[in-house]
Amino acid sequence: MTAVFDTLSDPLPRRLAAGLSRLSVALRAGQWRLAEARGLSPTQAQALAVIAARSGPGRPAPRLSEIAAQLAITRATASDAVSTLERKGLVMRQPDPRDGRAAGLALTEEGRTAAQDAGDWPAMLLDTAADLSPAEQEALLRLVVKMIRGLQVRGAIAPARLCVTCRYFRPYAHEDASAPHHCAYVDAPFGDRHLRLDCPEQDPLPDAEAGAVWTRFATGASGAMSTL
Ligand code: SF4
């Protein structure tokens, strides 16, 4: 039977999109205030955070194209932001061992300090998330992972370094309901509350294998979740 509100309300996906849009407005406003207080634009602060997250021993320095893809901005906008960071002495270019004609981006000493601040999230957002119960936070994290993967599959955002697309991820490998998954990299069990959204050790699975792992993850707990 159709409830009265089924005809009065916008379809649920539209109201969810509207709600997510409200959250993104609050996030952008908070990030703007944080970045401004540090003398950076939000794009410069985000570029700094991406360079920091993707740098490390044994890893090739990220390229400009990677920054643009991760922030879903044009190469020209990324180039402007990085050039400003270079002028401020926070970022430097260095040869890319993968391609002698390309340059990788690295943080200076000062840039490393600035990046620690730039990677912060607005306190009001963290406080609001902390107001949710642990079970709600865990359930929301799982749904966020699902939405990020859905956007990735549709080509709307660059691939994130998610557990659920990682070759080391073994969904529902254990009986323990609080830690049913297994990370073969760390060789340890973990639960939904530990799912990572940007793991430096992530090694992406080829699409053909990623689909099967995703299906196992999405249906493993109850068999009731859609697989996309
Ligand atoms: S290596 Fe990282 S991304 Fe991969 S399963 Fe382990 S924790 Fe998750």
- Integer Cα distance of 150 and 92 in angstroms: 35
Q: What integer pLDDT is reported at residue 228 of this predicted model?
A: 40
What residue ranges define each of the domains in the chain, with the CATH number in brackets? 25-118 (1.10.10.10), 132-220 (no CATH)
46 lines ligand 1 (CB under 6 A): no
> What are the pLDDT digits (tens) for 147-163?
999 999 999 999 999 99
**Ligand 1 nearest-atom number relative to CA 169:** 5
Contacts of residue 70, defined as CB under 8 A and 6 or more positions apart, other chains included, come to 50, 54, 158
Going by C-alpha positions, the residue among 15, 32, 17 that lies closest to residue 125 is 32
Q: Is the pLDDT of residue 224 over 90?
A: no
Distance 167 CA to ligand 1 centre (A): 8
Alpha carbon distances (Å) from 175 to 66, 192, 194: 39, 14, 17
One-letter-per-residue 3-state SS of 62-102: CCHHHHHHHHCCCHHHHHHHHHHHHHCCCEEEEEECCEEEE
Please report the pLDDT score of residue 226 as a whole number: 39
Cα 187 from Cα 139, distance rounded (Å): 24
The model's pLDDT over 13-33, given as tens digits with 9 standing for 90+, comes to 999 999 999 999 999 999 888
Of all protein residues, whose CA lies closest to atom 8 belonging to ligand 1? 163
Instruction: Compute, in angstroms, the gap from residue 169 CA to the centroid of ligand 1.
Output: 6
**d(C-alpha 164, C-alpha 196), whole Å:** 9
Q: Is 52 in the pocket of ligand 1 (CB under 6 A)?
A: no
Ligand 1 binding pocket includes 183 (Cβ within 6 Å): yes
136 lines ligand 1 (CB under 6 A): no
Question: Mean pLDDT of all residues in the chain?
Answer: 90
How far, in Å, from the CA of 202 to the mean position of ligand 1? 5
Which atom of ligand 1 is found nearest the CA of 162? 3
Cα–ligand 1 centroid distance for 11 (angstroms): 36
Distance CA 79, CA 95 (A): 17
Confidence of residue 185 (pLDDT cuts 50, 70, 90): very high
Which is more confidently placed, 120 or 36? 36
pLDDT value for 227:
40
Residues 28-59: tens digit of each pLDDT: 999 888 888 889 999 999 999 999 998 887 78
Cα(184) to ligand 1 centroid in Å equals 8
CA of 141 to the centre of ligand 1 (A): 15
Q: Which has the minimum average pLDDT: 40-49, 117-126, 142-151?
A: 117-126
Mean pLDDT of 180-193: 97
Q: Is the CB of 176 under 6 A from ligand 1?
A: no
| 3 state SS of 179 | coil
Decide: 26 and 125 in contact? Cβ < 8 Å. Answer: yes
Q: Give tens-digit pLDDT for 159-182.
A: 999 999 999 999 999 999 999 999
Q: Are 85 and 111 in contact (CB under 8 A)?
A: yes
Is 90 exceeded by the pLDDT of residue 199?
A: yes
Q: What percent of the chain has pLDDT over 70?
A: 96
The whole-angstrom separation of Cα 51 and Cα 63 is 9
Using a 10 angstrom Cβ sphere, with 0-12 exposed, 13-18 middle and 19 or more buried, the burial of residue 35 is buried
Tell me: pLDDT of 183 over 60.
yes
